[in-house]
Structure 1
Amino acid sequence: MSDAERSYEKSAELFGSSFLAREVPTRDFPSAGMTATDALRLVAEDLALEGLPARNLATFVTTWMEPEAQKLIAFNLHRNFIDHAEYPRTAELEQRCIRMLADLFHAPVETTGARTQGSSEAIMLGALSLKWNWRQRRRDAGLPTDNPNLVFGGDVHVVWEKFCRYFDVEPRIVPLQRGKYTIGPEDVEPHIDENTIGVAAVLGTTFTGHKDDIGGINDLLVRIKKERKLDVPLHVDGASGAFVWPFLYPHSEWDFRLEQVRSINTSGHKFGLVYPGIGWLIFRTKEDLNPDLVFKENYLGKTDSTFTLNFSTGSAMVVAQYYNFVRYGRPGYTYIMENMQRNAEVLADKLEKMGDFRVIGREFEQLPLVAFRLTEGHSYDEFDVAWQLSAERGWMVPAYTMPPDAQDVKIMRALVKQTLSREQVDTLARDIEDACRTLEKKGGAHESERKKMVVGSGH
């Protein structure tokens, strides 16, 4: 090291971090370390370039929790959830959460379930149980067990197609239609046969926030069981909605009050108001979980049952979920959901008043969000508006096209979350209007700007 370099290092040690005027490690494993303070600053300054979570109206995932919850999370980051012998109280908190969710979803008897990394794992596990139960029924009847199929709409999360591909199940996907972005019994019935392991219905789609006609699909499956002797179970994908409907629409029947609903998944890290990642899978009865999917292991200190795709995982979010349940209870969750819904209605009113947008399906039961699209006759489209909002004001409001056969429909969606205040709703509405006026003047976003715009549907 030269004298100049040694002098620079001494100055950096006294006045600032040495990486400030050097390239940071990005490819090769570092040949030397740095002080904890330098490492902290390096990573923190890199992440400072990220978007602001408070303005991210694309993601359904929780971006804020109370300071008390954050303390509990910090205190439990070092605990491995799967070590039930060493951390039995954490295992007990998981079981309390499962029992509370079963009660919330009107399970008719004492049942079972699982904590998962999120709804994707919960869906994989729930669908595996559908397949295993179907296969067992077929074997008991002396029937072949090849060619299983699963029926769901084009409004589902991509994980349903992943499950079918990973676990060799034929996906029977009901296409959407222009102006009809959910599915009902008339859409499902033609796809059901003796090889159908189940039907998946969505409670709160990521595209428009509405629910499939779960009650109608249930009635269809009850009729098919009676007339055709085919017992086709119904799984409710409540990734977002299962923490919303019980509080905003308590009399709406979509859960275990319906005979054919055998399992429900939900994301604690969405409207369960917990940081990622935590999800839940709840069965109607213990018998709905196929026992062949449950493993016994005894190398962590005692014999435990495991029903997971992941093994080691943190305890913190289980603790945080239980904190929320005891902190808020039914009144607290209801208050939060109603506030979000009221602000969503205010935003919808303002968008409609502008005259530039048409709000989609606000007369129906819906997640606390606003799905909207431009009216006819504009020189710009929804992707231009999304880009302009992001570039000028930092709002992340996604624009996307609908799934087949409605892929020509472009939509925007603003998720109204717990931290989006009425004042911020007013600001967002003004910023959307300003973005439209700017786009009118310049005739839309330039092609180079459009190419930079990569906004997903906020799954």
Structure 2
Amino acid sequence: MFSAPPTRRLAPGPVPPQTAHRMVRDELMLDGNARLNLATFVTTWMEPEATALMAECADKNMIDKDEYPRTAELERRCVAILADLWNAPDPDASIGCSTTGSSEACMLAGMALKRRWAQRNADRYPARARPNLVMGVNVQVCWEKFCAYWEVEARTVPMEGDRFHIDPAAATELCDGNTIGVVGILGSTFDGSYEPIADLCAALDDLRERTGLDIPVHVDGASGAMIAPFLDPDLVWDFRLERVVSINTSGHKYGLVYPGVGWVLWRSPDHLPDDLVFRVNYLGGEMPTFALNFSRPGAQVAAQYHTFVRLGHEGFRAVQQATRDVARSLAGDIEALGDFRMLTRGEDLPVLAFTTAPHVTAYDVFDVSRALREHGWLVPAYTFPPHREDLSVLRVVCRNGFSDDLASMLVEDLGRSLPRLRRGVGAATADDADERRRATGFHH
């Protein structure tokens, strides 16, 4: 009689590969359906050809550029493509690299900002000056981690009223001689809105004229940097602004690649201090490396280049326009139910954020999130940061593969849940508030 191997220690001996595969696959069936996960910005669908290509490249070590020179070349091509897309002064000379995602890319960009500031203030740092970084309170958690890990003071601009992201004037008031840079977000994870990058740069230009402080800007384009070039080409947010020295994006978000790839680019080699770039030769041939990790698969880089080749500019525009159209239509359908107030409608990122209407008292957004989970949908409910902790919202992220049909099903399931919620059936009590928030946690 077959006895299942233990799950928390190694079994005495092996099992057949088919058995191991079936055991793990059966357990993973209990996970949520990724296509119905409307909390995540991460790509949950790719064409079969891209999936096959990733499987073929899974055993290639991205860091081993001497052994896998063509994979390294695909990375360089992707950097050049992004530099051209983001209007770098000289795309072919731009410097950048792939990462495991935007979080690592942000860490690298922050490290470069701090090192350039430290070099300019060598007489004061570290003994007499502590660096700071200015950003909106709506930044992704990786920026909080950066400040904690690299001993940088985080100076955040709070939300006020119906402004849910950074205010340029308030940001400049937080800047001083110890400011290593200001972070602008092209697509806030809280509501999907673009921050006013051009206005932020203009305010910092004025600060330089008044005080002599010359503060660089990094654009966290985790999502929007792969939306705006195709859908909002007249929006000036990128290297067309001289104050923007670096940009990051997630290839695995609206770059349309499965999880595991991000990108960071600098305006020129001058903006990436050379002492942060390490050169190794023990893999055969000397190669530069600038990353927080070392070995990682080349599959995602190959998939990113495949996606660039497959879609081209017009293909990307069509895909991103379709997701924005779905988001706008979905926002109208949800609003028509009568119980919700829309904060954003997919006008920037294909993301909509909404809360309950003032007349709704029998339930809140956390109850809605739990009700939708019963239908298989993962829709996060969360509170906003200071000074809008009073505002709790639901957020829906529309991605490639989330079709009009799926959006219609979501609205139908939401509509089916409302009669019960309006009667207070299934709504949690005040004593359950902490448990509800844990159960419907915020996802970046």
Task: Look up the match of 2:263.
Answer: 280
Aligned to 1:457: 442
Amino acid at match of 2:440: V
Supply the distance in 2 between the matched residues of 1:136 and 1:226 (Cα, whole angstroms): 23
Partner of 1:150: helix, strand, or coil?
Answer: strand
Q: Where does 1:122-141 land on structure 2 (aligned, <5 Å)?
A: 122-139=105-122
1:50 maps to which residue? 31
**What is the rounded CA distance, in whole Å, between the counterparts of 1:311 and 1:301 in structure 2?**
15
Question: Which residue in 1 is equivalent to 2:84?
Answer: 103
Query: Which residue does the alignment assign to 1:350?
Result: 333
C-alpha displacement of 1:366: 1.4
Q: Quote how far apart the aligned CAs of 1:178 are.
A: 3.4
Percent of aligned positions that are identical: 45
* Structure 1 gap segments, 5+ residues each: 1-7, 10-17
Q: Do the aligned partners of 1:222 and 1:259 also contact (CA within 8 Å) in 2? A: no
SS of corresponding position for 1:151: strand
The corresponding residue for 1:13 is none
Whether 1:59 and 2:11 are equivalent positions in the alignment is no
CA contact (8 A) 2:157 2:167 kept: no
Name the amino acid aligned to 1:72: L
Which of 407, 415, 418 does residue 436 from structure 1 map onto? 418
**Helix, strand or coil: the match of 2:245?**
strand
TM-score by length of structure 1 reads 0.92
Contact 1:343 1:422 in 2 (8 A): yes
Aligned residue for 2:363, secondary structure, equals coil
Q: Which amino acid aligns with 1:298?
A: N
Write the distance in 1 (CA, Å) between the matches of 2:425 and 2:53.
51
Do the aligned residues in 1 keep the contact of 2:343 with 2:354 (CA within 8 Å)?
A: yes
2:75 maps to amino acid:
E
Query: Could you tell me which of 144, 159, 162 is aligned with 1:161?
Result: 144
- The corresponding residue for 2:14 is 33
> Which residue of structure 2 lines up, in the alignment, with residue 116 of structure 1?
99
Of the structure 1 ranges 448-457 and 245-254, higher mean CA displacement relative to structure 2 is found in 448-457
Distance 2:49 2:8 in 1: 38
Unaligned runs of 5+ in 2: none
Q: Which residue of 2 aligns with 1:296?
A: 279
| AA matched with 2:216 | P
Give the partner amino acid of 1:314: P
Residue from 262, 277, 290 that aligns with 1:307: 290
- d(CA) in 2 for partners of 1:369, 1:432: 17
Over aligned residues, Cα RMSD in angstroms?
Answer: 1.5
What is the rounded CA distance, in whole Å, between the counterparts of 1:449 and 1:436 in structure 2?
Answer: 20
1:38-437 correspondence to structure 2 within 5 Å: 38-109=19-90, 110-139=93-122, 142-145=123-126, 146-362=129-345, 365-378=347-360, 379-391=362-374, 393-437=375-419
The answer on whether the counterparts of 1:206 and 1:457 sit within 8 Å (CA) in structure 2 is: no
The AA in structure 2 aligned to 1:348 is: A
Letter in 1 for 2:63: I
Equivalent AA in structure 1 for residue 442 of structure 2: S
In 1, Cα distance between the equivalents of 2:304 and 2:118? 35
- Secondary structure at the aligned position of 1:413 is classed as strand
Residues 217, 365 of structure 1: CA spacing in aligned structure 2 closer, same or farther, 3 A cutoff?
farther
Report the 3-state secondary structure (helix = DSSP H, G, I; strand = E; otherwise coil) of the residue aligned with 2:11.
coil
Distance in 2, matches of 1:191 and 1:197, equals: 12
| Counterpart residue type for residue 60 of structure 1 | F
- State how far apart, in whole Å, the 1-side matches of 2:344 and 2:67 are: 50
TM-score of the superposed pair, with normalisation by structure 2: 0.95
Give, in whole Å, the separation in 2 of the partners of 1:325 and 1:210: 25
Q: What is the one-letter code of the residue matched to 2:328?
A: E
Q: Runs in 1 of length 4+ with deviation above 6 angstroms?
A: none
Q: What is the number of residues matched between the two proteins?
A: 436
Q: String of CA shifts for 1:257-309, please: whole Å, max 9, x gaps.
A: 11200000000000000011100001111111111100111101011111010
Give the structure 2 partner of residue 5 of structure 1.
Answer: none
